[in-house]
Amino acid sequence: MAHRRRTAEWTPEDPSFWQSTGRRVATRNLWIAVPALLVAFVVWQVWSITATNLKDVGFGFSQSQLFWLTAVSGITGGTAHILYTFIGPMIGQRRFTAVSTVVLIVPLLWLGFAVQNPDTPYGTMIAIAALCGIGGANFSSSLANIGFFYPKREKGNATGVNGGLGNLGVSVVQLLTPILITSSVLAIGAGQKKANGSEIYLQNAAFVWVPVLIVLAAVAWFGQNDLKVAAAPFSQQKIIFRRKHNWLMTWLYVGTFGSFIGFAAGLPLLIKNNFEAQGYHATTYAWIGPFIGAFMRWAGGWLSDKMGGARVTMLSFVGMAASLVVVIFALPHSGDQGSFWAFFIGFLAAFAFSGLGNGSTFRQIPVIFRDQHMREAAGRGPEAQGAALKQSEMEAGAVTGFSSAIAAYGFFFIPAMFAAMAVPHALWLFIGFYATCLVVCWWFYARKGAEAPS
């Protein structure tokens, strides 16, 4: 029977252990991790909708400043991702999940008070947005941790469920925020008047999640496990920086998850700036793309378990490139109003294909490192093979966290590029990047005779 706090032995590849103990414990840890990750994503993405409402209630920020408010969370999210990747295994994921969840209360409280005063300085808003970005860092530690619990044949599905349902936090915040901010029943503090005379309560978007975070932190503390096999000091984890496939898979994951999170951050303002005058509102449509992408992440993991991750990853990049071509030609240009529905359907397809790639790349990582280490240990006896398997699990977990950390900067770079240059130019750059990802994936992982088929 595995102890709820510290589990010394964990052998999911052993069928008898998996059936008697492993599956039950792994399932419990997974379903505690999912809501905690979902709400962490809510905190990370809360600015994607909050920013679209600030000018309406008297904040005198420019469109460029609003894009930067959305983007700055990506800087801290990506940076904290890197730290969280290595800290989690050092102190134990159960404790780390609980602590990293409860600290998110601080930026939410600050945000809730700041949005009630339109004279709040822009610098203060930037600081709050930066702290909200810490919520995105929970992703790297959560995904790396859950991977340790499952056998190879189920890793893709498990990380797909965790990542996919966790990513739903993006849709949840974009869907619920417009509802929450119109509810006087939930309000703590005064409402804000819009130009049309209606009243909204922007603080609700922050305050409502505070008690939820407290409950989730407590559930993680008392319900999850610290796996001894997952414990590793940084001195052991840093070996991934010498692994070629760490950098190659990070490149690919920047293309998939970086696109997903960056598009989610930038789409509300793209709709507002290009199509609101035609009667299309970001609050009505923006949540649908991340919702599709989140569920397709699970589909990508499941499909990769069946047909191989590299093939699904290649499909993802081809699909995203084709989708963005549709988006480019649907945007308003040269006095033409563009086509909202072509634009929106193109983005929905881009989200769907990015979700597929999110699931498939995370399935590739443990397969690549397991196969590599097991090949090196072949013929050296059971003890060497056991050590190789443990080393591969540790490295795969670290690479999973590190790649997601770097990809999280997409939250910053994509809105920042939309703020700094014409949107079509930015989208063509993304398509060119996808072409490089396609070549990398085919050469190293998908072609016949590839170095690390996955």
Mean pLDDT value across the chain: 87
Total length of the chain:
454
Bridge partners of residue 7, in order along the sequence:
227
Share of the chain above pLDDT 70, in %: 96
Q: Would you list the domain boundaries of the chain?
A: 6-446
Residues 6+ apart with CB under 8 A from 170: 41, 45, 48, 261, 264, 287, 290, 291, 293, 294
Instruction: Categorize the per-residue pLDDT at 5 as very low, low, confident or very high, splitting at 50, 70 and 90.
Output: low
pLDDT tens for each residue of 37-54: 999 999 988 987 888 889
pLDDT at 318 over 70: yes
Instruction: Categorize the per-residue pLDDT at 393 as very low, low, confident or very high, splitting at 50, 70 and 90.
Output: confident
pLDDT at 230 over 70: no
Cβ–Cβ under 8 Å, residues 75 and 409: yes
Identify the top-confidence range among 53-57, 144-148, 235-239: 53-57
pLDDT at 182 over 50: yes
Supply 337's token pair: 């109003």
Count CB atoms within 10 A of the CB of residue 79.
18
Q: Can you say how many angstroms the Cα of residue 129 is from the centroid of all Cα atoms in its chain? A: 17
Give me the phi and psi of 190, to 5 degrees please.
-80, 155
pLDDT of residue 2: 42
Distance CA 94, CA 218 (A): 10
Distance CA 189, CA 166 (A): 30
Cβ–Cβ under 8 Å, residues 57 and 182: no
Q: Taking residues 120-145, what's their average pLDDT?
A: 86
Distance CA 434, CA 417 (A): 16
Per-position b or e across 322-345, b if 16+ CB within 10 A of its CB: ebbebbbebbbeeeeebbbeebbe
pLDDT tens for each residue of 323-334: 999 999 999 987
Distance CA 308, CA 298 (A): 14
Residues 6+ apart with CB under 8 A from 32: 97, 219, 220, 223, 224
pLDDT tens for each residue of 349-382: 999 999 999 989 988 998 999 899 888 888 888 8
Cβ–Cβ under 8 Å, residues 78 and 412: yes
pLDDT at 262 over 80: yes
- The alpha carbons of the chain give a radius of gyration, in whole angstroms, of 22
Q: Which of 385, 447, 405 is nearest to 246 (CA)?
A: 405
Cβ–Cβ under 8 Å, residues 298 and 283: no
Sequential DSSP letters for 327-363: HHHHS-BTTB---HHHHHHHHHHHHHHHHHHHHHHHH
- Which of 288-302, 305-319, 405-419 is the least confident region? 405-419
Count CB atoms within 10 A of the CB of residue 452.
18
Task: Determine if the pTM surpasses 0.95.
Answer: no
pLDDT at 228 over 90: no
**Homologous superfamily of domain range 6-446:** MFS general substrate transporter like domains (1.20.1250.20)
If DSSP states are collapsed to H, E and C, what string results for 378-394? Answer: CCCCHHHHHHHHHHHHH
Angle, helix 122-132 to helix 63-91, in steps of 10 degrees: 30
pLDDT of residue 173: 87
Cβ–Cβ under 8 Å, residues 321 and 434: yes
